[in-house]
Structure 1
Amino acid sequence: MKIQDYALLLKLNEIGTIRATAKTILISQPAVTQRLKYIENYFGEEIFIRTPKRLLLTSSGEMILKHAKEVISKENELKNMLAETSKEVQGTLAIACSSLISQRFLPAILGEYTSKFPNVIIDLVTGISEDIKYNHQDYHVSIIRGKKLKETTCIPLFQDPLYIFDTFPFPKEDIKKRPLISFKSDDSMHELVDNWLYHHSDVIKPQKAITVDQIETCRQFMKQGIGMAVLPESVSGSMKDDYPHLPLMIDGKPVTRSTWVCYQEGVRRLPQVDAFLRILTNQTFLK
């Protein structure tokens, strides 16, 4: 059995279907099915019961999954111990990063990091901050937006002011009624926007809500005049010269989105993690 086989079992149990798992790990569905069949033949036991909705663990499967978790945990412990004792910065650096940060800032940061430490293997997952928070223990470093992670060390990276944009001007003496375009994000982002709209219901009243999957889609819809959009400065700074906009303010204070880097206690003993955190925290994100 390979370590990848144990990881596959855990992923199948987490996601619940062979098709979705294959899509997530970027290999074909027949390949996943064939590998699962090999693993079940290896143990001589059925691990999952296939149902129309999801895979269900058998009693034997529960024991095998417990063993898989222990094997992967021991493997990671060994890698970490080897990395700690090595004078050279190497090993694996597991990062979970907010999609916005991964698109806007992370490429340059990882470019600098990998040029300095080419022997480090980068294991990167991107997504919504809420999903990252739920699985943060799977990573050395989590870069998240919104509220910081409890029971971890969190370092603030920057505050990202929010603006509302439109292709039509914002009238000073009339109520603005336009569709509001929003992008898929975590609850804390929606709470900030809803709270601001509540405090400004006398001047802005969205006609309807349009929800899209990504922030870039939201931005392009706004540019085409489809509706208003609330965007952080980190992705909209250059737009302020071209489109009508208002800063989100409540009681004279700007409404901002916090960005944090969070990690478990002791993880900085790993040279590859400490080196990444030093580069990350020395960055200037918003000029």
Structure 2
Amino acid sequence: MKIEDYELLLKLNEIGTIRGTAKAVLISQPAVTQRLKYIEGYFEQPIFIRTSKSLVLTPAGELILKHAEKVMEGERDLMNSLAESSKEVQGTLSIACSSLVSQRYLPSILAEYTKEYPKVAIDLVTGISEDIKKDHKNYHVCIIRGEKLKESVSERLFEDPLYIFDTEPFPKNKLKERPLISFKSDDSMHELVDNWLYYHQSQLKPEKTIRVDQIETCKQFMKQGLGMAVLPKSVSDSMMDEYPNISLKLEGKPVTRDTWLCYQEGVRKLPQVDKFITELLRQEFI
């Protein structure tokens, strides 16, 4: 058995379908099926039951998956120990990052980092902060939005003021009724917006909510006149002069979304992690 075989088993269990796994690992469905057949032959046990909707672990499969997790954990520990003992910055740097930060800021940061430390392998996962928080112990570094991780070392990277945009003006002494376009985010973001709207219901009243997956889709819908959109400054600063907008404030203070760098105590002993954290803390984001 190869490390890649254990990785494939874990990915199959995570995604739940051969088709989805093949897409995630960038190989063909027949190749995934053939590799799974080999692994099941190696253990002489069926690992998954194929249903019409998903893969279901067999009792033997549960034992094998637990073993796969231990193998991968041991592999990570070994690589980290080797990286820690080496004078040269190398090894794997695992990052879980908010989608907004990964799209807007991370590419240039990682470009400089990998140029400086070419022997470091980057393992990057992106998504909404709520999902990242659930598995934060699986990564060296987490970059999340909203509330910080209380059980980790957390350092604020930047505060991100929120604005509401529209193609139509915001009248000062008249109720504005327009659809509100909302993008997929964690609960803390929606709570901020709902709380602000509650205190400004005499000024703004959403007729309905249009929900989209991506923040970029939300921006484009707003630009086409489909409704209002609450956006953070970090992704909308170029729109300030082009579209009517107002800053979200409560009791005279801006409503903001904090972005946090979170990591476990002691992880900076790994040179590749320490260098990346140092680089992040030097950045000016907004």
- TM-score using structure 2 length: 0.98
The aligned counterpart of 1:68 is 68
Q: Distance in 2 between matches of 1:30 and 1:194?
A: 48
Q: Deviations over 1:4-30 (max 9, x none)?
A: 111111121122222222222232222
Equivalent position amino acid for 1:115 in 2: K
Cα distance in 2, alignment partners of residues 28 and 127 from structure 1:
25
CA distance in 2 between partners of 1:99 and 1:61 (Å) = 33
SS at match of 2:88: coil
Q: Shift in Å at residue 227 of structure 1?
A: 0.6
Rounded to whole Å, the distance in 1 between the matches of 2:152 and 2:53 is 36
Post-superposition offset of 1:266:
1.3
Rounded Cα–Cα distance in structure 2 between residues aligned with 1:30 and 1:62: 24
Q: Which residue of 1 is the match for residue 273 of structure 2?
A: 273
Whether 1:237 aligns to 2:245 is no
Identity value in percent: 71
SS in 2 for 1:32: helix
1:122 match:
122
Matching of residues 1-287 of structure 1 within 5 Å: 1-286=1-286
1:223-260 superposed Cα distances (whole Å, 9 cap, x missing partner)? 11111000000011111111110000111111000100
Per the alignment, in what secondary structure is the counterpart of residue 60 of structure 1? helix
Q: Deviations over 1:23-81 (max 9, x none)?
A: 22232222221111110011111011112232221111111111111111111111000
Q: CA deviation at 1:111?
A: 1.2
Deviation string 1:151-181 (CA, Å, 9 cap, x unpaired) is 1111110000000000100001111101111
Matched position secondary structure for 1:207: strand
Which structure 2 residue ranges, 5 or more long, are not aligned?
none
Query: What letter is aligned with 2:127?
Result: G
For 1:197, give the aligned amino acid: L
What SS does structure 2 have at the residue aligned with 1:97? strand
The one-letter amino acid paired with 2:12 is L
Deviation at 1:89, TM superposition (A): 0.4
Q: Distance in 2 between matches of 1:204 and 1:27?
A: 50
Q: How many residues align?
A: 286
Q: Tell me the distance in 2 between the aligned counterparts of 1:267 and 1:43.
A: 36
Which is further off, 129-138 or 226-235?
A: 129-138
Q: Secondary structure at the match of 1:19?
A: helix
Whole-Å separation in 2 of the counterparts to 1:126 and 1:98: 6
Stretches of structure 1 that go unaligned for 5 or more consecutive residues are none
3-state secondary structure, aligned to 2:162? strand
Higher mean alpha-carbon deviation, 109-118 vs 15-24, is at 15-24
Measure the CA separation in 2 of the matches of 1:217 and 1:40: 43
Q: Secondary structure at the match of 2:118?
A: coil
Cα root mean square deviation, aligned:
1.0
